Amino acid sequence: MRSLTILQLKIELKLAASLIKSKKPLYRSAQSQRSVAEWKDKEINKNCSELETQVAKLRFEFRHKHIVYCLLRGKSREQIERKKEPCNDFCPKNPYCCHKASEKEIEKLFTHYAELLSKEVKEATSETLCAHAS
């Protein structure tokens, strides 16, 4: 039997992936409009910046939830992501360089979903014990 928490997380991942897929072409279109307008049109710049921010947030959320989803299903971190060499000396000090995953965000999400999962297991266990007792 699959866990409802893991299924819920999978649905959230699918929704985030579809949102990223739908927003990316809009962002690319806005980017090309911005380059044609030569950065002079404030409305186009604002629209492009908002779309860029939305896509970046969705990607960040998707990546971290995907890592947590895989960890909850028993995969090791090495199986989920390949190690990358630092691109320069500044890289190890900058968390956004080389697009490293945020360990704090992963820990926060993992704790949240692990708690939901443990509650679900406890409820299922107590229901099973009650069923056997009757």
Task: Look at residue 123 in the predicted model and tell me its pLDDT.
Answer: 85
Predicted structure pTM score? 0.74
Region at 94 (left for phi over 0; alpha for psi -120 to 50; beta for the rest): beta
Task: Look at residue 1 in the predicted model and tell me its pLDDT.
Answer: 46
CB contact at 8 A, 44 and 97 = no
Residue 108 sits in which domain range?
Answer: 4-133
Neighbouring CB atoms inside 10 A of 20's CB total: 18
Task: Look at residue 12 in the predicted model and tell me its pLDDT.
Answer: 94
Number of domains in the chain: 1
CB contact at 8 A, 66 and 101 = no
Give pLDDT tens digits along the chain (134 positions): 468 889 999 999 999 999 989 988 887 777 776 665 555 666 767 777 788 888 888 988 999 999 999 999 999 988 888 766 656 655 555 554 556 788 999 999 999 999 999 998 888 887 766 666 65
Task: Look at residue 130 in the predicted model and tell me its pLDDT.
Answer: 65
